[in-house]
Structure 1
Amino acid sequence: MRVGVLGVGHVGLVTAACMADFGHDVIGYDDDGHKIAALRAGDMPFYEPDLDRLVADNVSTGRLRFSGDAVEALSDREVVFICVGTPSREDGSPNLAYVQAAAQAVAAHARGPVVVAEKSTVPVRTGERIRQALALESQARQGTAHHEVVSNPEFLREGSAVEDTLRPDRIVVGADSTNAHEVMRRVYTPQLERHDCPYVETDVKTAELIKHASNAFLATKISFINAVARVCELTGADVETVADAMGHDPRIGRAFLNAGIGYGGSCFPKDVEAFVHIAAELGYDFGLLRETQRINREAKVWPVHQLRRLLWNLQDKEIAVLGVAFKPGTDDIRDAPALDVIDALEADGASVRLHDPVALDQVRGRFARAELYEDAREALRGAHAVVTCTEWDEYRKIEPEQLAELLAYPVVVDGRNVWDPAALEAANLRVASVGTPFSGDLGA
């Protein structure tokens, strides 16, 4: 089929590449000329495992093209995916101006009827607004084409977005007509022939809610285990064992029960905030999600509280921060907990040494007192303490004995439980790990 993708950010570029890999003729459009030029030159605008190969393979076959010309990108498409940004306003509501502009572009340039699929995360009832925008723009241009709107939310995880799109755990399509459902079935038939997964057919509003409800639930699960971690720290219990035992219950599951310093990224913070705002507009106070947000804010300040406990004053201390990206496998630093940690350290007068395998370029020049290191061990050498903010596998390969040798003071604040606390203590390190008993103040 002839597929258009509006917006080639994380969701759009992965969607475009995977749709081409399924055999569709795909044009990825973006109004950022530099991004389009980079993609045509084979340069990826962000880090995502295996995406560069998938893009290159499908560009070479001619199934995937990139354009900054809306006419070229939209004039003959059968299906158009809207994958543009929906940034938060100050009140927490999503800004849907880019979604509206995308719908207007379809109505302005499509020569025939198009199924418009919203893949950006949007509030319930956005489909109605998109229909309205399509109709108004078409009427203004005296067009006659009837475009249909569907909701087709993405459930990809940064760091495994290609795998999640090629082999998803479910496909959700919300449409309000038989024809639109039939078109989307045709879109996904090649994928379903490769990978059998549930295909959920519903109406547009239900599909829109599924996405927000899914992300909000996962964020709540993270905040729940972080609240349990606080109780474990106060009682001497071990949160890892608690989470493992909970996870054996199939009604609960082990995923997203890793205690740490909170969630970040482009989805969870924005989507939880948006869901709270949407519910409030409808007259419902979603207090559970507001508490989820509060616990997450609390988790982000935990590392600095522990450093103050162990080091007393942070003024002029050298602190190694391992990990800047909000999670492993990506260079995305949007709402990354590490940013809050670094800001707080600098506010206390500390000098920060930063390491991350892929995300250093994203923070270059952002912090006043930060020095960037390409080698994690060099960042550790001579530091008064280390804080882990992202659980990259390469950090697990640093042995506790190496930490003890490299650090000027034997202080480890393990915000992602990268290392075994007992092994750290055996190497005579003073340790604060999330959800486990603390080994005591320096000099105690």
Structure 2
Amino acid sequence: MHILIVGTGYVGLVTGACFAEMGHTALCLDIDTKKIENLKKGIIPIYEPGLDEIVKRNIQQGRLLFLTDYAEAVQAATICFIAVPTPSQNDGSCDLSYVETAARSIAKHMKEYRIIVNKSTVPVGTAYRVASVIRDELAKREASIPFDVLSNPEFLKEGAAVQDCLKPDRIIIGSDKTAPAETLKEIYSAFTLSHDRILMMDTLSAEMTKYAANAMLATRISFMNEIADVCKKVGANVNEVRKGIGSDSRIGYSFLYPGVGYGGSCFPKDIRALISVAKKAGSEPLLLQAVDQVNNRQKKVLGQKISKYFAAKGGLKGKTVAIWGLSFKPDTDDMREAPSLTLIEDLLSQGAILRLFDPVAMPNAKKTLENIPNITWCKDEFDAAVGADAIALLTEWKQFRLVEFPPILKKMKGSAFFDGRNQYKPLDMKTKGFDYIAIGVPDQIKNT
């Protein structure tokens, strides 16, 4: 089947490539001409493991096409997915202007029945809003063309998006009609041999499911970060506490890792959007607000620990801090709302000199931190450590797990190591000569 995907960001490009991989013909549309020209050449605008390979393969085999012409795309495709950005507005609500523009553009070029599918993360009720936009546009044309609008939220993790798309935990299809839902179900049949992973529900529930899923995961992260704060103050070790509660089958181990807070394009935006949705509906989202507040506080924790450490050493002014990892999580180059940005701003404001390294996100980080003084971009973690008074680990890239630390310490001027992801064993790091400070871990560990 010919499928149109409007938008070639993380969601649109991965979705289009995976549809093509499963045998469909995917037409990926974007209004960014330069981006489309690069994609035609196999130049991928994002870092996502495995994506480069399937994009190039399906371009060569003619199943993955890139274009900017709505008229051509809408005429060719029976189903039109909308996978465009839905950024936060100043009040935390979701900006639907890109979604509405895409819907309007599809409606302008519709000549016969089409199924329009919201793939973007959107507030509850957006499918009805999109339907209204399409009806209005068709009315301007004095055209009477049938269509249906469905919800099909994405559940892709950056860094594992291709596998999540090809082998999904579940596929949510939201529709108030049976026939279009069955058509969408058939399109996804290649992704799962067992249809019990395709969940059919009404449109509003499907839209809410996406927000609720991300809110639950964000809640677990903020919960553990708050527990880590309590552990630090009472002398408990959050690493042991995490194992203790995670062993409960009702809780499990996923998303129970304390750290420097969550970032990226999903959790922060979706929590704020859900808070806005709740308030507009007359609900008081106390827990969701607390999740957001805890996360904002957590992003500042490592900076506070660094400032406290150097307070007795003349302050941070003129001190050199190496930062390992800049992206908001491993296996992505996404810098959106990355905790590293909060730390960098904090340290620079106190006069620190920074040496930065990330295995993948350096180009995007340089764009974000362009022309800022007192920043040196380093070739690897060893280079970053040269002359450093302290090292701060912000992103738990695999290559940082088994670093040879004796050579690192020799390169440093100081011996402080601030572990924002609790990657290392405290006693081991202290034995190697570091002043090791982590999240929710007491300074003196009694048990080996």
TM-score (norm. length: structure 2): 0.96
Q: What is the CA-CA distance between 1:196 and the residue it aligns to?
A: 6.5
What is the CA–CA distance in structure 1 between the aligned matches of 2:373 and 2:75, rounded to whole Å? 48
Q: What is the CA-CA distance between 1:410 and the residue it aligns to?
A: 0.7
Q: What is the CA-CA distance between 1:185 and the residue it aligns to?
A: 1.3
Range moving further from structure 2, 357-366 or 258-267 = 357-366
Q: Which deviations, in whole Å up to 9, do the C-alpha atoms of 1:66-117 show, x marking residues without a partner? A: 0011112211211111000001110001110010111111111122211111
Moved over 6 A (4+): none
Q: Which deviations, in whole Å up to 9, do the C-alpha atoms of 1:331-350 show, x marking residues without a partner? A: 00000000000000000110
Matches within 5 A, 1:41-440: 41-193=41-193, 198-312=197-311, 313-364=315-366, 366=369, 367-438=372-443
Q: Which deviations, in whole Å up to 9, do the C-alpha atoms of 1:223-249 show, x marking residues without a partner? A: 000001011111221111111121111
Does structure 1 retain, via aligned residues, the 8 Å contact 2:167–2:192?
A: no
What SS does the aligned partner of 1:14 have? helix
What SS does the aligned partner of 2:117 have? strand
Q: What is the CA-CA distance between 1:402 and the residue it aligns to?
A: 3.2
Do structure 1's residue 24 and structure 2's residue 50 form an aligned pair? no
Summarize the Cα distance change of 1:167–1:205 in structure 2 as closer, same or farther, 3 Å threshold: same
Code of the residue aligned with 2:297 in structure 1: it is: E
Structure 2: any 5+ residue segments left out of the alignment?
Answer: none
What SS does the aligned partner of 1:115 have? strand
Code of the residue aligned with 1:117 in structure 2: it is: V
Provide the aligned C-alpha RMSD in A: 1.3
Q: What is the CA-CA distance between 1:399 and the residue it aligns to?
A: 3.0
What is the CA–CA distance in structure 1 between the aligned matches of 2:284 and 2:408, rounded to whole Å? 47
Code of the residue aligned with 1:244 in structure 2: it is: K
Range moving further from structure 2, 360-369 or 158-167 = 360-369
Q: What is the CA-CA distance between 1:368 and the residue it aligns to?
A: 2.8
What SS does the aligned partner of 1:211 have? helix
What is the CA–CA distance in structure 1 between the aligned matches of 2:407 and 2:276, rounded to whole Å? 48
What is the CA–CA distance in structure 1 between the aligned matches of 2:382 and 2:54, rounded to whole Å? 33
Structure 1: any 5+ residue segments left out of the alignment?
Answer: none
Q: Between Structure 1 and Structure 2, how many residues are aligned?
A: 439
What is the CA–CA distance in structure 1 between the aligned matches of 2:191 and 2:356, rounded to whole Å? 41
Does structure 2 retain, via aligned residues, the 8 Å contact 1:169–1:197?
A: no
What SS does the aligned partner of 2:204 have? helix
Aligned-pair identity in percent equals: 38
TM-score (norm. length: structure 1): 0.97
Code of the residue aligned with 1:351 in structure 2: it is: I
What is the CA–CA distance in structure 2 between the aligned matches of 1:18 and 1:143, rounded to whole Å? 34
Q: What is the CA-CA distance between 1:438 and the residue it aligns to?
A: 2.1
Does structure 2 retain, via aligned residues, the 8 Å contact 1:320–1:352?
A: yes
Does structure 1 retain, via aligned residues, the 8 Å contact 2:320–2:353?
A: yes
